[in-house]
Amino acid sequence: MPADAVNYNILAKELNEALSGGRIDKIVMSDKSTLMLLIRARGENRNLLITAATSPRCYISARRIASTDVPLSFCLHLRRHILGGIIDSVEALPFERILFFRITAHGDLGDEIKRVMIVEIMGKYSNIVLTDGDMKITEALKHVDIGQERPILPGIKYVVPEDKTRFDPTDPEAENIRASVPADDLPSVMVKRLRGLAAKTAAEIVHTAADSGTNLAEAATALLRRPLSPVVYYAGGKPTDFSFTDYATVSGDRKSFPTLSAAMDEYYGSVAEADEKSAAESFVRRAIGSALNRQKKKLATFVSEYEAASDYDKERITGELITANIHKISRGDTSLVADDWYTGERVVIKLTEPTPQEDAQKHFKRYRKKKRTVEVVSSQIEECKAAIDYLESVETSLSLAVTAEDIEDIRAELEDGGVVLRQNAKKKTAVSEPRKYNIDGFDVLVGKSNVQNDRITKEARGEDIWLHTQGFHGSHVVIKARGKTVPHSVIVKAAEIAAFFSKARLSENVPVDYTEAKNVHKQRGAAPGKVDYFGAKTVYVHPSAPSESK
């Protein structure tokens, strides 16, 4: 992506124009890596977002972040040293993704104190560093210990990172690269040999040089002099990239934005949502997987115990045979040959106890113990199977989740069920709305989670039509009748949606049961999403994504 030094050098000029002279009114952190400065500048409130987390970035955002319940130590340090301060200027280190925010703050006695907040956008090494006017570090988001290549610790001088192996794209020596590598490999080699370039910016420089007949250094200079006209590139309606000016070498749809920050906000807003969803989904998927593994191990143990004890009747019969043939047993006998009146066969019974009576009692005792084991373990096996079935239904809901909010609902369900520990002491009370569609004038509700499935089924009126895939985990679907007779064509289309939002979405000819909602009942204590129903009919459909939503 072109969030490279070229774009950040342009961004620094934009930030300087927008923020210089502005007062820092508020500082918050939403997590240990993400910071926001609320700045009043030129009569407007600006939200400067800085994050050193996944997809590190710095720009003015239209969105605000929520503060942590308890201020983090780095946030408190910034509040103490730069809150209320004035931003004098914003600069970028040439061809590096490093921004310098020069700030005039005030001490406890009202005296002016110079500070520099340095934002390093350097992948996993990204950092936020605060220094005094002499560039001595007062605190940093991430500490780098002594002994590392470039230590970052309070009390030591801030040192700008150096890379002597590469040179600037505007250096005439850049042209030597073009002469030494094949044309197809040139952009990737430029990224390795030149400072501050992303692959797409390098490709744009190569294109500019070829189009204008200039060398690479001149083409890089020309690119930097292009007028600011930020764009975001799209594929399938989703942002895929951005740049400070339109790159001729980037294909796909594009949209212009008034500022580079606005373009970055559009792009990273989508990225942040995807990152949030991915992180939440990964956590929930691991939790479900771990719970499933535990239940499957328990089930295997219970099944093994059941199989070992399932011959309990054999123990009873053996005891009975010993008792019935006790007159045939002499002192010192180690076995008994007897007729089994249940099978008509002759059996050999080992005798291991001092007396036949004790041998018989041994088998009767085993009989009682094994019978109790079978009774208890049978119940445990059913409980395990029900738990596995429930967790697999949650797993299906997770695979159908679209937004981070959907996943949060599923996580809340698992917290309520004790599958994962509750993060917040306060129980989540609100559940997001179900998916809503309109089919030929009839509203159709589709549950996103088991809890939501229960809700829409419980709230359905008796005449509403309830649908669910037969033999597959999936969403509950309700057609709101509202006093009308629901046509079969609407039921079929709703069934296609039910099949789509189920584990059978990649199958064909999926059976979907439907019945009036009054025929659907939930047993007391049943797992979320688990219901019984009767009087259902079945329609076979091909899963189809809904085309109209409300």
Digit-coded pLDDT (tens) for 466-507: 999 999 999 999 999 999 999 999 999 999 999 999 999 999
Residue 91 sits in the same domain as residue 127? yes
Residue 13: inside a domain, yes or no? yes
Could you give the C-alpha distances from 297 to 290, 395, 417, in angstroms and in order?
11, 18, 20
Give the mean model confidence (pLDDT) for residues 436-447: 94
Question: Is there a single domain that holds both residue 314 and residue 242?
Answer: no
Of 432, 464, 498, the residue at which a domain comes to its end is 432
Report yes or no on 28 lying in a domain: yes
Q: How confident is the model at residue 107 (pLDDT cuts 50, 70, 90)?
A: confident
Checking if the pLDDT of 430 tops 60, the result is: no
Are residues 126 and 195 located together in one domain of the fold? Answer: no
Residues 289, 341, single domain; the answer is: yes
Q: In whole numbers, what is the pLDDT of the chain averaged over residues?
A: 91
Contact 87, 117 (CB under 8 A): no
Residue 408 lies in a domain: yes
In sequence order, the β-bridge partners of residue 350 are 335
- Cα separation, 371 vs 414, in Å, equals 35
Taking residue 257's Cβ as centre, other Cβ atoms within 10 Å add up to 17
- Specify the pLDDT at position 409: 86
Q: At 90, which CATH number?
A: 2.30.310.10
The H or E element containing residue 335 is strand 335-340
Q: For residues 418 and 476, state if they share a domain.
A: no
Look at residue 148 and tell me if it is in a domain. no
d(CA 132, CA 117): 9
pLDDT band with cut points at 50, 70 and 90 for residue 419: confident
Share of the chain above pLDDT 90, in %: 72
Q: Are residues 391 and 480 in the same domain?
A: no
Nearest partner of 127 among 50, 16, 19, judged by Cα: 50
User: In terms of Cα–Cα distance, which of 485, 501, 500, 505 is closest to 440?
Assistant: 485
CB atoms within 10 A of CB 210: 12
Number of domains forming the structure of the chain: 4
Per-residue tokens: 518 = 């009054």
Identify whether residues 246 and 350 lie together within a single domain: no
> Which tens digits make up the pLDDT trace of 164-180?
888 899 999 888 888 88
pLDDT in tens, 307-365: 999 999 999 999 999 999 998 898 889 999 998 888 889 999 999 999 999 999 999 99
Read off the tokens for 375: 């009774």
- The per-residue pLDDT for range 67-87, each reduced to its tens digit, is 988 889 999 999 999 999 999
State the pLDDT confidence band at 403, using cuts at 50, 70 and 90. confident
Judge whether 65 and 28 are in contact, CB under 8 Å.
Answer: yes
Residue 303 lies in a domain: yes
In this prediction, what percent of the chain has a pLDDT beyond 70?
A: 97
Element (H, E) at 527: none
Cβ–Cβ < 8 Å for 441, 394: no
pLDDT band at 146 (very low <50, low <70, confident <90, very high): confident
Whether 298 and 403 map to the same domain: the answer is yes
- pLDDT for 90 beyond 70: yes
In this predicted structure, what is the pLDDT of residue 388?
Answer: 94
Q: Which residue is listed with tokens 């001595």?
A: 136
**324, amino acid identity:** A
Length of the chain: 550
Dihedral sign computed on CA atoms, order 307, 310, 314, 316: positive
Contact 502/518 with Cβ under 8 angstroms?
Answer: no
* Residue 428 pLDDT exceeds 80: no
Same domain, 241 and 317: no
Same domain, 415 and 497: no
Residue 424 has pLDDT above 70, yes or no: no
424, 443: one domain = no
> CA-CA distance, 104 to 481, in Å (whole number)?
66
Classify residue 54 by its DSSP letter. S
pLDDT at 275 over 70: no
Q: Is 98 a member of any domain?
A: yes
Question: With left for phi above 0 and alpha for psi between -120 and 50, is residue 154 left, alpha or beta?
Answer: beta
pLDDT band at 407 (very low <50, low <70, confident <90, very high): confident
pLDDT given at position 178: 85
d(CA 454, CA 473) in angstroms, rounded, equals 14
Query: DSSP states of 240-309 as a string?
Result: EEEESS--TT--SEEEE-SSHHHHHHHHHHHHHHHHHHHHHHHHHHHHHHHHHHHHHHHHHHHHHHHHHH
Contacting residues for 311 by C-beta, under 8 A, at least 6 apart: 370
Q: DSSP secondary structure string, 383-429?
A: HHHHHHHHHHHHHHHHHH--SHHHHHHHHHHHHHTTSS--SSSSPP-
> Checking phi first, is residue 214 left (phi over 0); if not, alpha (psi -120 to 50) or beta?
beta
pLDDT confidence tier of residue 97, bands split at 50, 70 and 90: very high
Whether the pLDDT of residue 512 is over 70: the answer is yes
Secondary structure (3-state) at 231: strand
φ and ψ at 293, to 5 degrees?
-60, -40
Higher pLDDT, 180 or 138: 138
Rounded to an integer, what distance in angstroms lies between the CA atom of residue 319 and that of residue 368?
A: 12
- What one-character DSSP code corresponds to residue 502? B
3-state secondary structure of 455: helix
What is the residue range of 478's domain? 435-541
Nearest to 388 by CA among 494, 306, 305, 292: 292
Instruction: Output the pLDDT for position 433.
Output: 87
Higher pLDDT, 516 or 66: 516
User: What's the pLDDT at 281?
Assistant: 82
User: Which residue, chain included where needed, has tokens 């049961």?
Assistant: 513
First-last CA distance in the chain? 35
Q: How far is CA 371 from the centre of its chain?
A: 47
pLDDT single digits (tens) 109-127: 778 999 999 999 998 899 9
Backbone angles phi, psi at 59, to 5 degrees: -170, 170
> How far is the C-alpha of 366 from the C-alpha of 265, rounded, in Å?
72
Query: At which of 207, 240, 268 does a domain end?
Result: 268
Q: Is 50 within 8 Å of 38 (Cβ atoms)?
A: no
Same domain, 336 and 471: no
Residues 135-155 have a mean pLDDT of: 92
Work out the number of other CB atoms within 10 angstroms of the CB of residue 445. Answer: 25
Instruction: Show which of 209, 234, 268 is a domain's final residue.
Output: 268
